[in-house]
Chain A
Amino acid sequence: AQTVTQSQPEMSVQEAETVTLSCTYDTSENNYYLFWYKQPPSRQMILVIRQEAYKQQNATENRFSVNFQKAAKSFSLKISDSQLGDTAMYFCAFLFFGNEKLTFGTGTRLTIIP
C-alpha cells in the first residue's frame, strides 16, 4: 500500500513571506495523481492544487505551486506572498490512476503570523 509522509507537523511564517511544505510518498506505480488540500480552522477541506505524475511541468494555481520530483517521490507545496487566510492544516494526498481511494498524509499545521 502506498504511504504519504508529511514530516513537518507545524510551521509558521510571517505574512507576505514564502513557505514550502514537504510531502514524500512511496509507491511502485508509475501512473498516479498528487494533491494538496487545505483545511482552514472552520474545518471544511478544499482542494488547492493537483499534479498528474505523467506531467513534467509543475502545477501552479495563483500563489500556490508545487515542486514535483518523481524520481525522489517528493511533492512539496510552495505558498508565495502568504496571507492570513492561508492559516490552515495542509494535507498532501495520493491517488492511483483508475482508483477512487485517496490516501492522505498526516498534515502540516501552517500558521501565518501578522
Chain B
Amino acid sequence: DTAVSQTPKYLVTQMGNDKSIKCEQNLGHDTMYWYKQDSKKFLKIMFSYNNKELIINETVPNRFSPKSPDKAHLNLHINSLELGDSAVYFCASSPVPGELFFGEGSRLTVL
C-alpha cells in the first residue's frame, strides 16, 4: 500500500505547455505539501495545505497553482512552463509538523 503517491513520475514537455501533477495520501494526515528539489538536490517548500486550506505559499510564481479537493489530495498545476521549472517535485503529508512522509517524486523536464 503506497502511503503518498504521485503521478506521473516523469514528465517531459515543451516550454510554454501546461502540466499537472497529482498527489494522494492514504495516511489520514491533515497537512500536505509540495516541495521542489533542484538539480543540486536543494529542497524548498512551495505550498502547504491543512485540511484543504492553504497555509504556506512561498515565493512561487503564480504560474504554479495548487488545488486540494479534499484533505487526501493535493494537486499541482503549472502553466506556461519554463526551462527553470525543470526539477523533481515532491508531495508530502504529515501528522505533526516536521515529520513528513514523502512521495517518490515527479521529475519534470522542460525542453
- What sequence of 0s and 1s flags, for each residue 89-114 of chain A, a beta carbon within 8 Å of any chain B beta carbon? 10101010011111110110000000
**Cross-chain contact A104 with B42 (CB below 8 angstroms):** yes
* Cβ of B56 under 8 Å from chain A: yes
Interfacial chain A residues near B75, Cβ < 8 Å:
none
- What sequence of 0s and 1s flags, for each residue 28-64 of chain B, a beta carbon within 8 Å of any chain A beta carbon? 0001010000001111110010100001101000000
Closest CB in chain B relative to A82 CB, distance in Å: 21
**Cross-chain contact A102 with B45 (CB below 8 angstroms):** yes
Is the contact region of chain A dominated by helix, strand, or loop, or is it mixed?
Answer: strand
- What sequence of 0s and 1s flags, for each residue 27-70 of chain A, a beta carbon within 8 Å of any chain B beta carbon? 00000010101010011111100100000000000000000000
Interfacial chain B residues near A46, Cβ < 8 Å:
102
How many residues of chain B get a CB closer than 8 Å to chain A's CBs? 25
* Cβ of B88 under 8 Å from chain A: yes
A34 to B54, CA, bound (A): 24
**Cross-chain contact A91 with B43 (CB below 8 angstroms):** yes
With A43-B105, A91-B43, A101-B45 already in contact, the answer to whether A50 and B90 are too (CB < 8 A) is no
Is the contact region of chain B dominated by helix, strand, or loop, or is it mixed?
Answer: strand
Closest CB in chain B relative to A37 CB, distance in Å: 8
Interfacial chain B residues near A104, Cβ < 8 Å:
42-44
With A100-B50, A101-B45 already in contact, the answer to whether A33 and B97 are too (CB < 8 A) is yes
A33 to B92, CA, bound (A): 18
With A104-B43, A107-B41 already in contact, the answer to whether A44 and B98 are too (CB < 8 A) is no
* Cβ of B103 under 8 Å from chain A: yes
Interfacial chain B residues near A93, Cβ < 8 Å:
98
Most buried by B among A33, A35, A47, A100: A100
A33 to B45, CA, bound (A): 17
Closest 6 CB pairs of A and B: A95-B98, A45-B102, A104-B43, A44-B104, A43-B105, A107-B41
By a beta-carbon cutoff of 8 Å, the part of chain A in contact with chain B is 33, 35, 37, 39, 42-47, 50, 89, 91, 93, 95, 98-104, 106-107
Q: A43-B88, A100-B50 are in contact. List 4 more A-B contacts (CB 8 A).
A: A44-B105, A47-B99, A95-B98, A106-B40
